[in-house]
């Protein structure tokens, strides 16, 4: 059997979502580890005043592509952006581009999706389900297509505790839902959304489950692989450790904790934190593309599902994540922290509410008061409100456990040559979590916040200043409370004098014993 790189040699690959977090890593890895790949067609839309061409040029300038640029400065010649808005009929691809794609594409990687947890159902359905359906129709017109790889999520079936590598019956017939939402006003859709999504926490997981069903329906006509990653985090090894470029999932939580803003969050210390590094997901995706294509004639007509998770193989827990994130940010602090990093997770609702009041709202109120008094615009309460909204949406995932069967991941690994196992490594047994989390935190600092590592001494100095402010504040508060208390109660006064005299006795004892030993 050809090696993975040999298989991709001379192939034309179509990628959706290439400008996103995972799409970029996929493009980079294909160019670097499969240098003979012929052309990467990227479906991209113009956005924020930039044409699709400008967006792709910007993307290729990013640091992620440094290694590819070193190996092949002309790598951009292999990239062909195709204008496409996935929410439009026929994906808004021009007839000439359709012609071009149908005549030459060999493999499709479908990464595009809306991953927002608060997306209105109609829009999530449009992008995650209808666009997938349209892409599948396009795929069927392709004369040389060998594999269609769909990126789903391990949480598509999060209403179940144990999740096998199968496609479960959809919560509703996708076509029926599409037809009924078409004529409904947005306000009605908003009202019925909680009833529709049922036990799922958001429209994202719901529409991703529907998308899997839509994909499966085409599996008799196309060779399909479905990748279900869990919580995708920074890169583990490639192209360098710690690559991350967004606030999604745990990254925003880590940053908020590192900045000393987030002090408490609802999460289960003992629940498995099913994080998976982005490079692992991409290596598995490329290997699955190769396997699906090579075995396309021998497969039964069913899509092969790969649960791409770590929990069953190399488990790590939210409590451990908290510990390592905190110690990492103490060693490598973020600039201009609001307070010293000290976040705690708790599964107790009341405890969490108490700490939100004491450690979030109270300091925010004081800081906003200070800003107001100094003639500036108050902002801290607004930041906290946004933070509370974001963590409120994540808590569902950090408060419970799921069990994923990942046999297909092991099966795929067993089919790789020793060389491919190194080049496209997705063996998460080798993952050293403390080291990974350290690099992840440094990655958020360097690549998300664009902070310079040379500023770490100044950031440490800032933390020492914050510590001193806290000590001073606590001491003043203690003295103030005791003074007020002592003035009113004889018993408190007696305790106060007792404690003070005890301290004096200890001091004189230590002074005397140190004089004797000298
Ligand atoms: C010590 C810690 C211990 C930790 C332990 C606990 C950790 C728990 C973590 C659990 C994670 C679970 C994730 C589960 C993932 C499921 C997997 C997937 O399939 S799917 C993948 C997972 N999918 C997701 O994770 C999606 C979740 N995200 C959302 O749904 C939305 O972003 C939102 C509703 C949270 C906020 O909506 P909205 O208010 O409309 O705000 P916008 O979005 O419009 O952003 C506006 C601006 O703010 C920026 N920014 C954003 N967040 C943060 C932040 N935290 N901070 C700072 N900044 C942040 C953002 O960059 C933007 O900047 P700019 O571009 O304007 O310059
Ligand atoms: N990140 C995670 O933790 C996980 C992600 N996944 C899945 O992985 C895939 C990729 O996720 P990720 O990279 O994190 O997501 P991102 O949000 O970073 O990227 C989404 C991509 O989809 C594109 N896209 C969105 N809307 C449209 C549209 N209307 N027309 C054309 N393109 C569009 C975006 O393009 P543009 O730049 O123009 O917005 C972007 O390239 C998704 O399918 C997601 O469900 C699964 C599990 C976990």
- Between CA 323 and CA 437 the distance in angstroms is 10
- pLDDT at position 495 is 84
- pLDDT at position 503 is 87
**Ligand 1 closest atom vs CA 397:** 12
Q: Ligand 2 center to residue 517 CA distance, Å?
A: 70
Whether residue 63 has its Cβ less than 6 Å from ligand 2: no
**Which residue is closest in CA terms to ligand 2's atom 18?**
20
Strand residue runs (E) in 326-390: 344-346
Q: Ligand 2 center to residue 67 CA distance, Å?
A: 24
Q: Ligand 1 center to residue 389 CA distance, Å?
A: 9
The first and second tokens of residue 245, run together, are 């470029």
ipTM surpasses 0.85: yes
Say which ligand is closest to the CA of 119.
Answer: 1
pLDDT in tens, 9-58: 999 999 999 999 999 999 999 999 999 999 999 999 999 899 999 999 99
Say which ligand is closest to the CA of 92.
Answer: 2
Q: Ligand 1 center to residue 11 CA distance, Å?
A: 36
> Please, is 479 exposed, middle or buried when counting C-beta atoms within 10 Å of its C-beta (0-12, 13-18, 19+)?
exposed
**Which residue is closest in CA terms to ligand 2's atom 27?**
86
**Which residue is closest in CA terms to ligand 1's atom 47?**
247
Q: Ligand 2 center to residue 111 CA distance, Å?
A: 6
H or E element, residue 489: none
Q: Ligand 2 center to residue 318 CA distance, Å?
A: 25
DSSP string, 224-276: EEEEEESEEES-SSSSSTT-----TTHHHHHHHHHTT---EEE--TTSB--EE
- pLDDT at position 490 is 82
476 to 203, 268, 486: CA distances (angstroms): 50, 35, 15
Ligand 1: lining residues by beta carbon, under 6 Å: 115-118, 153, 155, 231, 247-250, 252-257, 265, 267, 318, 321-322, 325-326, 343, 345, 386, 390, 393-394, 397-398
Q: Ligand 1 center to residue 390 CA distance, Å?
A: 6
- pLDDT at position 299 is 65
Mean pLDDT by 10 residues, the chain (518 residues): 92 98 98 97 94 94 95 94 95 97 98 96 97 97 97 97 96 94 92 95 97 93 96 97 95 96 96 97 98 82 91 96 96 94 94 95 93 93 94 94 95 96 96 98 97 94 92 87 77 83 86 68
82: β partners: 43
Set out the domains of the chain in order of their start, with CATH numbers: 4-234+272-314+402-422 (3.40.50.720), 456-517 (no CATH)
């Amino acid at each position: 059997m050809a090696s993975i790189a040999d298989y991709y040699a001379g192939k034309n690959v179509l990628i959706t979502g290439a400008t996103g977090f995972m799409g970029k890593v996929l493009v980079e890895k294909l160019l670097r580890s499969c240098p003979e790949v012929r052309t990467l067609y990227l479906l991209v839309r113009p956005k924020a005043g930039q044409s699709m061409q400008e967006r792709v040029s910007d993307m290729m300038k990013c640091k992620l592509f440094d290694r590819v640029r070193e190996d092949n400065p002309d790598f951009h010649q292999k990239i062909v952006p195709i204008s496409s808005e996935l929410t439009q009929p026929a994906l808004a691809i021009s007839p000439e581009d359709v012609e071009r794609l149908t005549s030459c594409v060999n493999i499709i990687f479908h990464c595009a999706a809306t991953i927002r947890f608060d997306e209105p159902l109609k829009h999530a359905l449009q992008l995650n389900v209808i666009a997938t359906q349209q892409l599948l129709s396009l795929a069927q017109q392709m004369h040389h297509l060998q594999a269609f790889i769909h990126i789903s999520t391990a949480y598509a079936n999060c209403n179940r505790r144990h999740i096998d590598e199968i496609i479960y019956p959809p919560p509703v017939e996708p076509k029926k839902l599409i037809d009924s939402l078409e004529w409904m006003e947005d306000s009605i859709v908003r009202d019925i959304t909680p009833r529709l999504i049922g036990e799922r926490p958001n429209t994202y997981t719901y529409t991703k489950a529907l998308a899997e069903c839509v994909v499966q329906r085409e599996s008799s006509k196309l060779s399909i692989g479905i990748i279900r990653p869990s919580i995708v985090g920074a890169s583990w090894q490639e192209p360098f450790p710690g690559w991350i470029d967004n606030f999604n999932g745990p990254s925003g939580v880590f940053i908020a904790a590192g900045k000393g803003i987030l002090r408490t969050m609802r999460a289960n210390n003992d629940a498995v934190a099913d994080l998976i590094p982005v490079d692992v997901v991409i290596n598995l995706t490329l290997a699955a593309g190769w396997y699906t294509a090579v075995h396309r004639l021998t497969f039964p007509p069913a899509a092969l599902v790969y649960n791409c998770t770590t929990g069953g193989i190399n488990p790590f827990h939210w409590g451990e994540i908290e510990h390592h994130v905190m110690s990492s940010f103490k060693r490598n602090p973020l600039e201009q922290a609001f307070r010293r990093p000290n976040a705690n997770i708790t599964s107790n609702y009341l405890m969490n509410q108490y700490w939100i009041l004491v450690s979030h709202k109270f300091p925010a109120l004081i800081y906003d008061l200070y800003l107001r008094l100094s003639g500036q615009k108050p902002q801290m309460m607004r930041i906290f409100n946004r933070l509370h909204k974001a963590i409120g949406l994540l808590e569902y995932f950090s408060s419970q456990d799921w069990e994923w069967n990942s046999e297909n991941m092991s099966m795929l690994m067993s089919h790789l040559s020793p060389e491919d196992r190194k080049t496209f490594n997705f063996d998460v047994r080798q993952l050293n979590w403390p080291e990974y989390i350290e690099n992840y935190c440094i990655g958020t600092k360097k690549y998300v916040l664009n902070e310079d590592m040379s500023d770490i001494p100044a950031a440490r100095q800032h933390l020492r200043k914050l510590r001193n402010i806290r000590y001073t504040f606590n001491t003043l508060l203690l003295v103030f409370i005791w003074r007020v208390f002592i003035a009113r109660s004889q018993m408190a006064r007696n305790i106060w004098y007792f404690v003070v005299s005890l301290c004096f006795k200890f001091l004189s004892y230590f002074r005397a014993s140190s004089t004797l030993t000298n």
